[in-house]
C-alpha cells in the first residue's frame, strides 16, 4: 500500500492568472482555486489573433470557482496595457491584500511564414507574449519583494525552444520569455521570488488546428496543469524550464559545451570550421548558473584564472 503524498495547498495565497478565460489558463485557475487559492481571472476575451474583447469568459470561470466554494474575481485588462495591469494589481491588493502567484499565460497567434508575415504581425505577438509577461511581472514585483515571497510562471513553448514553421513571431517571443525568466530568477532570489517557465503541449483554442486530430485527446489542457500547480507552489524550484504534455514532464535546458581554445589570428575562422565538431561536442556540457559563466569558461580555456 503506497503512502499518500502530502497535497500542495494554496490556502491564503492569492494568484493572478492571465488568459484564464479558456484553455490552459482556465485549467490552471480552476486547479489553484480547488487547492485553496484566491484567483484573479484575467482575460481580455479576444479572438485567437487578439482582436475583440469581452469579460464574459473570465466571468464564467469566476462563477465556476464560486459555485465550487472558492473565491475569485474577473479582470479584463489587456496584458499589453501597463496602466490597466497596474490597476488590476492594485485592485487585487485592495481586495485581498497580497499577490503571491502570477501565471503569465495570455497569448495570441498570428501564424504565417516569415516571407509572408508583416512587421505588425510580428510585433503584435511579441507585444502580448513578451511585453505582456514583462508588464505583469513588473506590476507584481515590488509587492512580492516586500513580502519576500513570490511565484512567477512564464509560459514558453517548444516553438521557441526548438522552432516551428510559420511561427517566427511566436517562437521569438517564447524564447524571449526564457531569457526574462533567467534574469528575474537571479534578481528575485534574495527576496524569495521563484521564477520558472512552463512549456506546454496542449489542445486548446490556440492549437486546435495545429495538432493532428488523432492525437488531440492525448494533449488535453488539464494534463499540463499539474506542472503549473507545482511551479506556483511553495515547493517550486527556480530557473527551471519544465515541459509538460500528455501526462509527461521533462526539463529543457540552455547548455554550454566545454569548447575549444583556438586563439586569435588570421586563420581562426578556418580553425573554427575545421574543429567545429569538437567545439560542439556535448560530452561534459553544463547548464550555467548565470551568463558570467560563459566568460569564465572562455578565460579558463585561455589559461586565465580570476
- Known catalytic residues? 170
Quote the CA–CA distance of 27 and 206 in Å, as a whole number: 14
Say if CB 294 and CB 288 are below 8 A apart: yes
Q: CA nearest 149: which of 91, 92, 234, 41?
A: 234
Say if CB 64 and CB 57 are below 8 A apart: no
| Sequence-separated (6 or more) residues with CB below 8 Å from residue 247 | 223
Quote the CA–CA distance of 247 and 227 in Å, as a whole number: 10
The rounded Cα 146 to chain-centroid distance in angstroms is 23
Name the one residue in this structure whose C-alpha cell is 499539474: 226
Quote the CA–CA distance of 51 and 74 in Å, as a whole number: 19
| Sequence-separated (6 or more) residues with CB below 8 Å from residue 87 | 77
Q: CA nearest 140: which of 74, 53, 82?
A: 82
Beta strands 248-252 and 241-245 are antiparallel
Per the structure block, which three cell numbers stand in for 239? Answer: 530557473
Amino acid at each position: 500500500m503506497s503512502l499518500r503524498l502530502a497535497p500542495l495547498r494554496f490556502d491564503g495565497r492569492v494568484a493572478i492568472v492571465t488568459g484564464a478565460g479558456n484553455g490552459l489558463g482556465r485549467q490552471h485557475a480552476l486547479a489553484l482555486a480547488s487547492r485553496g487559492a484566491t484567483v484573479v481571472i484575467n482575460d481580455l476575451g479576444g479572438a485567437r489573433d487578439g482582436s475583440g474583447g469581452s469579460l464574459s469568459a473570465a466571468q464564467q470561470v469566476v462563477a465556476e470557482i464560486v459555485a465550487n466554494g472558492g473565491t475569485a474575481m474577473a479582470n479584463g485588462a489587456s496584458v499589453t496595457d501597463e496602466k490597466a495591469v497596474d490597476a488590476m494589481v492594485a485592485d487585487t491588493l485592495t481586495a485581498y491584500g497580497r499577490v503571491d502567484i502570477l501565471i503569465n499565460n495570455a497569448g495570441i497567434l498570428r501564424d504565417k511564414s516569415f516571407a509572408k508575415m508583416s512587421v505588425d504581425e510580428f510585433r503584435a505577438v511579441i507585444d502580448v507574449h513578451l511585453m505582456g509577461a514583462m508588464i505583469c511581472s513588473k506590476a507584481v514585483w515590488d509587492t512580492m519583494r516586500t513580502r519576500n515571497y513570490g511565484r512567477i510562471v512564464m509560459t514558453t513553448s517548444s516553438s521557441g525552444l526548438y522552432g516551428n514553421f510559420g511561427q517566427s513571431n511566436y517562437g521569438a517571443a517564447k524564447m524571449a520569455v526564457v531569457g526574462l525568466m533567467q534574469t528575474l530568477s537571479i534578481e528575485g532570489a534574495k527576496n524569495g521570488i521563484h521564477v520558472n517557465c512552463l512549456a506546454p503541449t496542449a489542445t486548446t483554442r490556440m492549437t486546435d488546428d495545429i495538432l493532428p486530430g488523432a492525437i488531440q485527446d492525448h494533449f488535453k489542457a488539464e494534463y499540463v496543469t499539474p506542472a503549473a500547480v507545482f511551479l506556483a507552489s511553495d515547493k517550486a524550484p527556480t530557473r527551471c524550464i519544465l515541459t509538460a504534455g500528455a501526462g509527461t514532464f521533462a526539463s529543457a535546458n540552455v547548455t554550454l559545451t566545454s569548447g575549444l581554445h583556438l586563439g586569435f589570428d588570421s586563420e581562426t575562422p578556418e580553425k573554427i570550421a575545421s574543429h567545429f565538431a569538437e567545439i560542439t561536442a556535448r560530452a561534459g556540457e553544463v547548464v550555467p548558473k548565470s551568463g558570467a559563466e560563459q566568460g569564465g569558461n572562455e578565460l579558463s580555456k585561455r589559461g586565465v584564472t580570476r
